[in-house]
Amino acid sequence: MRVQEFRCIVFATGAHNKKQSFIPPDLGSQARAAGLDVLHSSEFKSPARFAGKRVLLVGLGDSGSDIAPKVCSTAARTLLSVRTTPWIIPQEVKGVPVDKLGCDAPDWMPWWYRKGSFRMVRWGVLGGFHRLGLPSPKHGLHDKMTVSDRGIVSAILSGSVVTRSHVVSLTGGTATFANPRHEPEQIDAVIFATGFGRSYPLLCRPGAPVDEVADALGFRIFHPTEPGLFYLAETVGLRSCWPIFSEQANTIVAYLLSEERATSNVRRFNARRRVATPSFKGAIYRLADQFHHDYEIYTHCLRDLSGWLAE
């Protein structure tokens, strides 16, 4: 075995991979014991696997909303179990992507006005939630992650996908739901669109709460005690994640260059590694976990940090 020495390690292993897929242990055990076809959304490849079957999807996030319209094209019946109703927004309005629509608003326009205006636009395009068989979201628009409509609304309105409340049991292959008005249904297959676990090596104990992990990372990048460890942690904004990863990488480079030059600011930074990182919430994702940021606040903060380190 060849041993090499490196100045630093950057963990950029990704959170959304099959090894970290999460299936609720109790429901997963019940489904397997009943002989159901069980898979996580990360394993989904084609709706052909579910032809003629009664399929239950668990979770209305990005994955569940993408997979359900595909599965219903071949399945005999497609149920979608929803624990918490997310805000479903159009993917585009008159050909303009919604993230660009929000970002191109004039700087003088206050966030509350942008939010209220977009909520009216959203209503005009997609309508209310009760027509989808869902209760209205209990949180405000953009307080948590939204779900882009890539066919889920029309699938529900056509009856191809039937919404149900949170599934509480799959014993004997029968799906039982939290809302007593939703009758139990026999199913043949279940797809868990229930997200992924997070793993950050050499940082926190396995299974640590999400916010504990996030708070341990300085600026969501730096290990609290070891200058040689960096993380391109999962960070979510209203826009693509790639500009965020780019800013994180630039910050790591700025730190390493400053360390090489032995600047006074890099010494000050290392002395304050355990100091709590400021909040990056702002008006966006204020009720989401600490990995969800106001894009503008977070990226501006990283640029300011990179500039300060370089002084």
Domain ranges of the chain: 9-16+209-310, 18-192
Q: What's the pLDDT tens digit per position in 185-240?
A: 999 999 999 988 877 888 887 778 888 888 899 999 999 999 999 998 888 887 77
Residue 127 scores a pLDDT above 70: yes
**Rounded to 5°, angle at Cα 35 from 159 and 68:** 25
Longest distance between any two alpha carbons in the chain, whole Å: 68
Q: How far apart are CA 259 and CA 257, in angstroms?
A: 5
- Taking alpha carbons only, the member of 162, 160, 161 closest to residue 179 is 162
pLDDT, position 213: 85
Model pTM? 0.87
pLDDT, position 197: 80
Q: How far apart are CA 287 and CA 299, in angstroms?
A: 20
Q: How far apart are CA 145 and CA 99, in angstroms?
A: 13
The fold adopted by the segment(s) 18-192 is FAD/NAD(P)-binding domain (3.50.50)
- Taking alpha carbons only, the member of 93, 86, 84, 50 closest to residue 69 is 50
pLDDT, position 276: 87
pLDDT, position 140: 92
Q: What's the pLDDT tens digit per position in 236-259?
A: 887 778 889 999 999 999 999 999
Tokens of 231: 């993380």
Which residues does 67 contact at the CB level (< 8 Å), separation at least 6? Answer: 41, 44, 57, 191, 193
Higher pLDDT, 121 or 85: 85
